[in-house]
Structure formats: structure tokens, C-alpha cells
Chain A
Amino acid sequence: MDDVATKITDILKKHMKEPRDDISPDTALTDLKIESLDLAMIVFDIEDGFGIEIPYNANEDVEDFKTVGSVVERVKSLIAAKGASAAKA
């Protein structure tokens, strides 16, 4: 796993009641027993840690948050978008 994936995995573990070490990109967030309140705290930590904003609404099922890998991809694209807009400015 790369740096972004490792950092995100660490954040996930921090919010899991029973942290486990077999988290891979294919792991579904539902398998980690992460509930809506946990997800809000995870998103907060990710935003804080990467200096990005993740648009999401707890009332909707978000495709980007189905698996650990999809979260990592979403964060990477937001980091890239932020870098691009910073480069333009």
C-alpha cells in the first residue's frame, strides 16, 4: 500500500471498535462495522490529515465509500484536484 492508503487505513483502524490488520483495498467498509457516526469522524480525520474537503451527505449511500480502495481513490483524486487548482492560481 502507498502512503495515502496507509494513512487512510490508520484512520479507519482508529475508529474501529475492534481494529484488525487484514484491511486491503477490496475490504468493504460495511465489513469493518463502520456506522454513520464513525464515518463522519473518519471523513473529518481524512479531511484534516490531507487538507482536503470530501463532499458527502450522511443521508445518501455514497459509491465512493463502498470499499477501502474506493476511499483511497477518491482522496487521491481530491488531492490531485487541489494540486491542480493550486498550480493554476
Chain B
Amino acid sequence: MAKQKSGRRVVVTGLGAVTPIGTTVAEFWDGLKAGKSGVSEIEGFPREDLKILIAAQIKNFDHKARLKHFKRDRIISLADRYSWFAAVAADEAVRMSGLEMPIADPYRSACIIGSGAGGLVTFETAYRDLFIEKKKATHPLTLLRIIGSSAAAHVGIEFGVKGPTFATCSACSTASHAIGLARDYIRDGMVDVAIAGASESVINYGTMKAWQALHVLSPEGCFPFAKKRNGTVLAEGAGILVLESYEHAKDRGATILAELSGFGMASDSQDMVKPTVEGPSVAMRNALDDAGIGPGDIDYLNAHGTATADNDINETKAIKAVFNSHAEKLAISSTKSMHGHPLGAGGGIEAVACIKAMLHGWVPPTIGLDEPGEGCDLDYIPNVGRDKKVTYAMSNSFAFGGLNAVLVFGPPPV
């Protein structure tokens, strides 16, 4: 039984997901159920001399159809692709919540939508125009498309959010930081409702070259915890939640999907790429303490699980350090094996996976896990998901720079 922490309880009433294996929550869940891989050959721009030729792209995304009913934000369809994903996911989450937006006092709502890189694709297009095509001017919307707060602003405009509206930026932990901060604002009484998560869309020639130069991308696929793993696979998408104070949700008779029970942060403060065991462990412990539960209460852990050599072995060590003997009984999976690594959006998409696992009593697998890698000796739910009652779920996000953020979701308060 969770010990009640100070402050108001915060619940999740809406989910939104745009991913390479499904661009609605229902499609995404079907993709996870089917063990679908979103990884395919790169399309949409000249590959020129690229050596890594795969990514988890969202193909045939009809942003105009998905955004045509937007009323207040008149230029969303002219925004960067990362803002489209955010807007579509936020729209789905708000609809699911049943909230009438704007809420009665719009200053009591927040919109925190982060991005690791904002409108990076627009950046490249604009610079190509200037430096290669020798055009005299960039498109007038270039600046508005690029800024990393544009998704938060677009969504805030559409839904009439007048309280705290900004973006977080912490590479692969961006979404979890956004969701955690929004949770704190509600818990502390600053706002009653928040739209929170992150969006990412960076797959272009320049990004692929930059990641290629870091030598952390796989030429074959994303195989977390597997012996054959040889790097991660870049993805794109958005994962967004609607959060509310428990009282606010209860008073309007909303369907409560889960409680956002715990949030923990810790920074390695050591190295840009080499993770510590300590930082992720402290973040997980902080999230458990914040939720008022022990390690043995977690039934499912959605791992950061990037399929890089370092992350997977390090994360396994950190899980063992936190969960002790319960680590062996814990159901762990990396859904990145299916939707790839959507960078800043990861924690948002994976939060959706955790909550759906709780709602359906089924935990998604880690696909491509034929033989576990050395030092990867926990139960990563290889290849096939399974029925399992999930009362509490944990979602790990660990970013370059050693920036760790962990969320814990629990059952709706009674």
C-alpha cells in the first residue's frame, strides 16, 4: 500500500501516441501486441553517402487530415513535422480525457511539451537553401518552425492553455522530465490540468551523419539486451499525457487511467556518453520513494533499453542495484525494439506503453532477443508479450550527458 506523500495526487486521464508502429494509441498498442518492428529503409531524402541506411520513420503521415479540425491555431499545418506529431498526440490525449478545453480557468492549465532538438529538419532545409541553393531568404516561418518551444506553443494555443507553457530539453529523457515537472505543478497546486510529453522528428541527412560519426547506430536493427545488438536505431514520434489533480478528475467524473505515483531524477555528472550505475539507480530509487512504494511493488519495467553496448549492460546493473532479489522476478522490456529510439519523445511513448500494459494486464515484449548479451541476464520478456497483472509500472529514461528521469505509474486512487 502506497504511503501518502505530501501534496495533491495526480492522475492520467488521456494518452496520445504517434509512433513508427502506429499513429494513434490504439494502433500503437496493436503494434506492440503484434511485436511489430517500425524499422525500415530510410526514405524521403537523398541518402547520398550515408552508411547507416535504416531508421524507424513514420511513413505516409497525413498531417493535414489529422490537424484539419484545429480551430485556434491557424498555422499548425505549416509548422515543423515535430510540432505536427506533438499536436496530433496532444489532440488524441485531450479527446481521450474528455476535457473541455480551454478549462474554466485557463491559467490553471499547463502545457509542457519538450523536444531534444526541435525543428532540426527545418534547420537543414533552410541552410541548404542558403548555403547550397544560394537563395536570398529562408522561408518566413523558418524561425518559428525551428524553435524548440514551438510544439508547446502550438498545442497551448489550440487548447487555450494560459498557465505554464514551455519545452523541456534533456536529450532522451526530455519527455519524462516534462511529465514529471507537470506532475509537480499539479501536486503543488499551481495548476489542475496539464498536457505533457515530448515530440521528436530529426531524421534527415545531417542528423544521420552526426549520429553515424558517434558510431552508436546499428546498420541492422534495434535489438536491446541481445548478444547481436550493435547500436540503436533512430526513430521519430510523440508521446503525450493529459494529467489532472485527482480531485479535478473525480469532480468531473473522468475515467482515470492511472495515477502518476512517482517521479525521480538524478544526473551522473560524470561523462557525456559513458553512463554510471549510480545515477540511474538513484533516479529509480527516488521515483520509488516518491511513490511511497518499494522495489518489490513494481510489476513491469519499461527499460530505457537502447540496444547500445553500454546502455543495456549498465541499465541491467542499475536495475539489480535497486531491485536486489526482485530483479529476477521483474518483467522488463524495451519497446524500443519495436518503435526504435524516438530520442526526446521516448519517455512519453513508453509512458503510454506502461499505462496500456496496466489497463490490459499484458506486458509488451523485447523483440529480436534470440540470445541475450553478456551481462544481460534478467527477464526482458523475449520476443512474445505475456499476460500479467500490472499494478505498478516504472519507465526509465537515461540520456546522453547522464541525465536520468524515471516515472512510476500506479492504479487509480480509490
Q: Which residues of A contact B (CB under 8 A)?
A: 17, 37, 40-41, 43-44, 47-48, 53
Cβ–Cβ < 8 Å partners of A44 in chain B: 137, 139-140
A17 contacts B137, C-beta separation under 8 Å: no
B141: Cβ under 8 A from any A Cβ = yes
Cβ–Cβ < 8 Å partners of B135 in chain A: 48
Chain A residue at smallest Cβ distance from B136: A53
Compute how far the CA of A41 lies from the CA of B140 in the bound complex, rounded to whole angstroms.
Answer: 6
B136 contacts A47, C-beta separation under 8 Å: yes
A37 contacts B136, C-beta separation under 8 Å: no
B75 contacts A37, C-beta separation under 8 Å: yes
Compute how far the CA of A16 lies from the CA of B74 in the bound complex, rounded to whole angstroms.
Answer: 11
Cβ–Cβ < 8 Å partners of A37 in chain B: 75, 140-141
Compute how far the CA of A9 lies from the CA of B139 in the bound complex, rounded to whole angstroms.
Answer: 20
Q: A17-B74, A37-B75 are in contact. Are A47 and B137 (CB under 8 A)?
A: yes
Q: Return B87 CB to nearest CB of chain A, in Å.
A: 18
Give the 3 A-B residue pairs with the shortest CB-CB distance, closest first: A40-B140, A44-B140, A41-B140
Q: Return B154 CB to nearest CB of chain A, in Å.
A: 13
Cβ–Cβ < 8 Å partners of B141 in chain A: 37, 40-41
Cβ–Cβ < 8 Å partners of A17 in chain B: 74
Q: A37-B141, A53-B136 are in contact. List 16 more A-B contacts (CB 8 A).
A: A17-B74, A37-B75, A37-B140, A40-B140, A40-B141, A41-B139, A41-B140, A41-B141, A43-B140, A44-B137, A44-B139, A44-B140, A47-B136, A47-B137, A48-B135, A48-B137
Q: Which residues of B contact A (CB under 8 A)?
A: 74-75, 135-137, 139-141
Cβ–Cβ < 8 Å partners of A43 in chain B: 140
Compute how far the CA of A41 lies from the CA of B139 in the bound complex, rounded to whole angstroms.
Answer: 7
Chain B residue at smallest Cβ distance from A17: B74
**Chain A to chain B contacts (Cβ below 8 Å), 18 pairs:** A17-B74, A37-B75, A37-B140, A37-B141, A40-B140, A40-B141, A41-B139, A41-B140, A41-B141, A43-B140, A44-B137, A44-B139, A44-B140, A47-B136, A47-B137, A48-B135, A48-B137, A53-B136
Chain A residue at smallest Cβ distance from B74: A17
Compute how far the CA of A25 lies from the CA of B141 in the bound complex, rounded to whole angstroms.
Answer: 27
Compute how far the CA of A32 lies from the CA of B140 in the bound complex, rounded to whole angstroms.
Answer: 19
Cβ–Cβ < 8 Å partners of B139 in chain A: 41, 44
Q: Return A40 CB to nearest CB of chain B, in Å.
A: 4
Chain A residue at smallest Cβ distance from B78: A41
Compute how far the CA of A48 lies from the CA of B135 in the bound complex, rounded to whole angstroms.
Answer: 9
Cβ–Cβ < 8 Å partners of B140 in chain A: 37, 40-41, 43-44
Cβ–Cβ < 8 Å partners of B136 in chain A: 47, 53
Chain B residue at smallest Cβ distance from A53: B136
Compute how far the CA of A46 lies from the CA of B323 in the bound complex, rounded to whole angstroms.
Answer: 64
Q: Return B146 CB to nearest CB of chain A, in Å.
A: 15
Compute how far the CA of A40 lies from the CA of B141 in the bound complex, rounded to whole angstroms.
Answer: 8
Cβ–Cβ < 8 Å partners of A48 in chain B: 135, 137
Compute how far the CA of A37 lies from the CA of B140 in the bound complex, rounded to whole angstroms.
Answer: 8
Compute how far the CA of A43 lies from the CA of B74 in the bound complex, rounded to whole angstroms.
Answer: 19
Compute how far the CA of A47 lies from the CA of B136 in the bound complex, rounded to whole angstroms.
Answer: 9
Q: Return B267 CB to nearest CB of chain A, in Å.
A: 39
Cβ–Cβ < 8 Å partners of B74 in chain A: 17
Compute how far the CA of A41 lies from the CA of B74 in the bound complex, rounded to whole angstroms.
Answer: 14
Chain A residue at smallest Cβ distance from B138: A44
Chain A residue at smallest Cβ distance from B140: A40
Chain B residue at smallest Cβ distance from A40: B140
Cβ–Cβ < 8 Å partners of B137 in chain A: 44, 47-48
Compute how far the CA of A44 lies from the CA of B141 in the bound complex, rounded to whole angstroms.
Answer: 10
Compute how far the CA of A43 lies from the CA of B137 in the bound complex, rounded to whole angstroms.
Answer: 11
Compute how far the CA of A37 lies from the CA of B141 in the bound complex, rounded to whole angstroms.
Answer: 8
Compute how far the CA of A44 lies from the CA of B143 in the bound complex, rounded to whole angstroms.
Answer: 14
Q: Return B64 CB to nearest CB of chain A, in Å.
A: 15
Compute how far the CA of A80 lies from the CA of B136 in the bound complex, rounded to whole angstroms.
Answer: 19
Q: Return A62 CB to nearest CB of chain B, in Å.
A: 15
Q: Return B212 CB to nearest CB of chain A, in Å.
A: 34
Compute how far the CA of A74 lies from the CA of B315 in the bound complex, rounded to whole angstroms.
Answer: 64
Q: Return B60 CB to nearest CB of chain A, in Å.
A: 25
Compute how far the CA of A40 lies from the CA of B140 in the bound complex, rounded to whole angstroms.
Answer: 6
